[in-house]
Structure 1
Amino acid sequence: MIKLAPVDQYIILAYFLFTFWLGFGRKNASDSTENFLVAGRRVTLPAFVASLVSTWYGGILGVGEFSYRFGISNWLVFGVPYYLCAIIFAIFLAGVARRSKHYTIPDQLEKVYGAKVRMAGAVFIFLLASPAPYLLMLGILLHLFLPVPIWAGILFSAGFSLLYIFRGGLQAVIRTDILQFVLMFLGFIILVVTAWTHYGGFNFLKEHLPAQHLTWHGGNSLQYILVWYVIAMATLVDANFYQRCFAAKSENVARWGIFVSVLFWLFFDFLTTTAGLYARVLLPELADPVQSFPRLAVFLLPNILQGVFFVALLATIMSTLDSFGFVSALTIGRDFLWRLRGGDDTSLNFYTRIGLLVTFSISVVIAIASSSIISIWYQLGSIATPALLLPLLTSFNARWKMSQGAAFVNIVFAGGISALWIILSLIQEEIPLGIDAVFPGLVISLIIYLSDNNLKKR
């Protein structure tokens, strides 16, 4: 446990109070469906960028661990593939997503493939958008510097986030994201500038880092790195990207908002990777690399600045928790409960709020039962990405879209084979055939797509 000075504890308390006021204290001008679910489709470029950028970095402790262990390859694994996929999304998908005026991804699946495909897709979108990893991360972080067990930190984080999303919907999420965006950059700029000032810049790091930390691979195999490039393709089916595009003021805001976000991600990745390298040099005997960022802050920063940095960590994770929690709840509320009850527009917000309760309840159980943040990401991403990738991407083009039957079979079988692969690896305690779970699912998906395409040409 990290013992914080009272002033740093007060800074953390002030952060929670101000975030709560932003999210809960300011009521939406209207409780209409569009206001609650897509912020009235009036999100401006600055708000779009702040929300998307902050939402994308919930795995900040995992980034610290990877940078500490593998050096600059962090950028190649957790940066470059996501920039590429985000740029592809901006060019080909952002505009059509905004034009669709949908509320959720399953709306698009139903429009093109029918209700059965919508329901199948919604299951995997719920998995991909689960806030469980971020609840676990907040529980670990709160346990690190407050005298509370991890499970209590998880429960507090879930309850805190749930309150203001329940009241304000996506508008509350975006309002708080703007604050989180400012705090996350402020905290890491303070940390990196302090380290640079006290110890020197890249020459200092080059002299003291293990040589492997400055290689592109960091000691990892090519297959391991390629797996993360494939997992990054989840960006193309990420519900938060679509939700922000659905809510954007215009197609240009959606498209250029993503381009600008990539620039901010580049800068933030520079900050986090550099901080991880300093942690490796200054704290070489660190027992748990997951704690590299908070431990580096304690080592380098004086009181008050420590509090600011810990708030930055909390803000980085909270923004992602809020966004994933809302999208997951919308999937439960709209794509399951609301449709099962007849689809009356006046009750949509009510069922979305019920979805919030269901989502956070399930996620709390998963988070408390799990021990590894990265394993949750890896497993859920490896299952959902093959299931959704081709059916969703091809749905936006009449020439390339699949038949309804093929889309349903693709979602069920591609996701199913990846899930089976993960189950076998857990039972056998080794990866079957040495092939990661995402690849069999993608191969099955591609075979189904090509077979369907061939049949349509006959």
Structure 2
Amino acid sequence: MALDLFVVLIYAAGMLVLGYYGMRRAKTHEDYLVAGRNLGPSLYMGTMAATVLGGASTVGTVRLGYVHGISGFWLCAALGAGIIALNLFLAKPLLKLKIFTVTQVLEKRYNPMARQASAVIMLAYALMIAVTSILAIGTVLQVLFGLPFWISVLLGGGVVVVYSTIGGMWSLTLTDIVQFVIKTVGLMFILLPICLYRVGGWAELVAKLPASSFSFTAIGWDTIITYFMIYFFGILIGQDIWQRVFTARDEKVAKYAGTFAGFYCILYGLACALIGMAAHVLIPDLDNVNNAFAAIVKVSLPDGIRGLVIAAALAAMMSTASAGLLAASTVLTEDLLPRLRGGMQSSLALNRLFTLLTGIAVLGIALLVSDVISALTLAYNLLVGGMLIPLMGAIFWKRATTSGAITSMILGFVTALVFMFKDGLDANTPIYYSLAVGLVSFVVVSVLSRKPEAAVVRAV
């Protein structure tokens, strides 16, 4: 594996070099957080797609393909559909607001208290998004190179923390576009064709797998609906994704490049599901299905080429990890910290410091969690259950009040936690009950309380 390790080390060094160039371009607070709001179509499309397709999308979808067949692609399909809807319908008004965080919309519509309450939920979500991909990085390095898991997490995650800290969004943009190219070539044009060749071609894949593996609904309609409830709506309100929208030069860039990124996500999901199906044929008795991706890479690819595909997988994971890390740091410095500093706004140096501290926290959490899809589900359950209703109410319902919004956030968040603890992270009940409780409490409290003092955000 020496040649593979060399290729991966070259890739990691390249990410750090790009991080350095990003640091040189990040000269202001706005440069650091949203790349100066000046990305063109190519950079915007690449960074948008790279942000969404991370550890859970790659390792998780291969696992779903291994277990359920082609229907495993629905996780990425829900993410891709969310990206398309966001860029077609919300990007234009969001760009006009010139804001940095999702929670600033709630402050404009309600009051600063609503912003602080929602910031806590958004922080939990963004942290878990970063943790999910750091976990995936650790899993891949552990299986392929035989490293202890904690060393794998610290090495792979450490690279993400360093380049994210020094250059912020410019570093993320430069690394994302390279990561987008690497994972497209490595996974869709190298790993997938080789896996199909190893199986014996498409005809052999069809012959060796049950017919249900080729059904787009085999994973179950309840799971498909839940994926859309969690991931589609999560994309529409996630800080990591909105922060990418804020980088677009104008609404046309967001509309067309963002839509292309969404369709790319769907195709990527199909490719990863097919890789998982090939893995089921080549390695039918895998002890841990969470290791399906790493196992198929180890079994099917020659030295050197294996290293390139490992780099492609790490590219997918690092892009999402860095997005979650910067999103969490931005929420801290823009929404929560000013409250403790008497309203003083953050500086470039402060942004860097808190990105570093947030990165250290993410690495610590990653050492305590084990399942990438469960971690992703936890993040999106908390986000959608706690914030979807108040945020949509802020945009579309004039009668909504601050007390209704805060009540909905708290009860939705707590309900999601209770049912995840009661029924497990893979259950559908957390998202359904949290949305139901959040909606009822939002409407009832808003109707019973006085009219909001703040004006409706008509731009959204």
Give your verdict on TM over 0.5: yes
How far apart, in 2, do the equivalents of 1:454 and 1:446 lie?
12
SS state of the match for residue 406, structure 1?
helix
Aligned to 2:393: 394
1:169 deviates by 0.9
Aligned to 2:457: none
SS state of the match for residue 223, structure 1?
helix
Question: How large is the Cα RMSD of the aligned pairs?
Answer: 2.3
Aligned to 2:101: 104
- Listed as ranges, the matches of 1:26-425 within 5 Å are 26-58=22-54, 59=56, 60-75=58-73, 77-130=74-127, 131-188=130-187, 189-218=189-218, 220-232=219-231, 233-345=233-345, 347-397=346-396, 399-400=397-398, 402-425=400-423
- List per-residue Cα deviations over 1:246-276 (Å, max 9, x = no partner): 1110111122222110221122122212111
SS state of the match for residue 268, structure 2?
helix
How far apart, in 2, do the equivalents of 1:30 and 1:384 lie?
29
Contact 2:34 2:247 in 1 (8 A): yes
| Structure 1, 446-455 or 385-394: larger mean CA deviation | 446-455
1:19 deviates by 1.0
2:19 is equivalent to residue 23 of structure 1 = yes
SS state of the match for residue 277, structure 1?
helix
Aligned to 1:438: 431
> Which residue type is aligned with residue 35 of structure 1?
D
| Structure 1, 97-106 or 147-156: larger mean CA deviation | 147-156
Contact 1:129 1:328 in 2 (8 A): yes
- List per-residue Cα deviations over 1:172-228 (Å, max 9, x = no partner): 01100011001101111101122334545432221111222122333x443333222
- List per-residue Cα deviations over 1:420-451 (Å, max 9, x = no partner): 2223346xxx99xx862111110012213433
1:400 deviates by 4.7
- List per-residue Cα deviations over 1:329-375 (Å, max 9, x = no partner): 11112211233213334x43233223223322322222111122222
SS state of the match for residue 287, structure 1?
coil
Contact 1:227 1:436 in 2 (8 A): no
Contact 1:414 1:444 in 2 (8 A): yes
SS state of the match for residue 285, structure 1?
coil
Contact 1:98 1:254 in 2 (8 A): no
How far apart, in 1, do the equivalents of 2:142 and 2:413 lie?
35
1:292 deviates by 2.0
| Structure 1, 283-292 or 192-201: larger mean CA deviation | 192-201
Contact 2:22 2:174 in 1 (8 A): no
- List per-residue Cα deviations over 1:266-288 (Å, max 9, x = no partner): 22122212111111112212222
1:25 deviates by 4.5
| Structure 1, 196-205 or 14-23: larger mean CA deviation | 196-205
> Which residue type is aligned with residue 53 of structure 1?
A
> Which residue type is aligned with residue 230 of structure 1?
M
SS state of the match for residue 103, structure 1?
coil
| Structure 1, 86-95 or 170-179: larger mean CA deviation | 86-95
How far apart, in 1, do the equivalents of 2:22 and 2:248 lie?
21
2:447 is equivalent to residue 451 of structure 1 = no
> Which residue type is aligned with residue 109 of structure 1?
L
Q: How many residues align?
A: 445
SS state of the match for residue 395, structure 2?
coil
SS state of the match for residue 148, structure 1?
coil
Contact 1:106 1:121 in 2 (8 A): yes
How far apart, in 1, do the equivalents of 2:207 and 2:97 lie?
54
How far apart, in 2, do the equivalents of 1:366 and 1:195 lie?
34
How far apart, in 2, do the equivalents of 1:341 and 1:451 lie?
35
1:46 deviates by 0.7
Instruction: Decide whether aligned partners of structure 1 residues 133 and 80 sit closer, same or farther in structure 2, where only a CA change above 3 A counts.
Output: closer
1:328 deviates by 0.8
1:457 deviates by 11
How far apart, in 2, do the equivalents of 1:289 and 1:393 lie?
37
Instruction: Decide whether aligned partners of structure 1 residues 353 and 26 sit closer, same or farther in structure 2, where only a CA change above 3 A counts.
Output: closer
Q: TM-score, normalised by structure 2?
A: 0.91
How far apart, in 2, do the equivalents of 1:329 and 1:284 lie?
42
| Structure 1, 80-89 or 364-373: larger mean CA deviation | 80-89
**Identity over aligned residues, as a percent?**
24
Instruction: Decide whether aligned partners of structure 1 residues 394 and 90 sit closer, same or farther in structure 2, where only a CA change above 3 A counts.
Output: farther
Instruction: Decide whether aligned partners of structure 1 residues 229 and 27 sit closer, same or farther in structure 2, where only a CA change above 3 A counts.
Output: closer
1:456 deviates by 8.5
How far apart, in 1, do the equivalents of 2:138 and 2:87 lie?
34
SS state of the match for residue 13, structure 1?
helix
Contact 1:334 1:352 in 2 (8 A): no
How far apart, in 2, do the equivalents of 1:148 and 1:46 lie?
36
Contact 2:114 2:405 in 1 (8 A): yes
> Which residue type is aligned with residue 5 of structure 2?
Q
> Which residue type is aligned with residue 402 of structure 1?
A
> Which residue type is aligned with residue 52 of structure 1?
M
SS state of the match for residue 116, structure 1?
helix
Contact 1:395 1:401 in 2 (8 A): no
- Unmatched 5+ residue regions in structure 2? 452-460
Contact 2:82 2:235 in 1 (8 A): yes
Q: TM-score, normalised by structure 1?
A: 0.91
Instruction: Decide whether aligned partners of structure 1 residues 435 and 228 sit closer, same or farther in structure 2, where only a CA change above 3 A counts.
Output: closer
> Which residue type is aligned with residue 62 of structure 1?
G
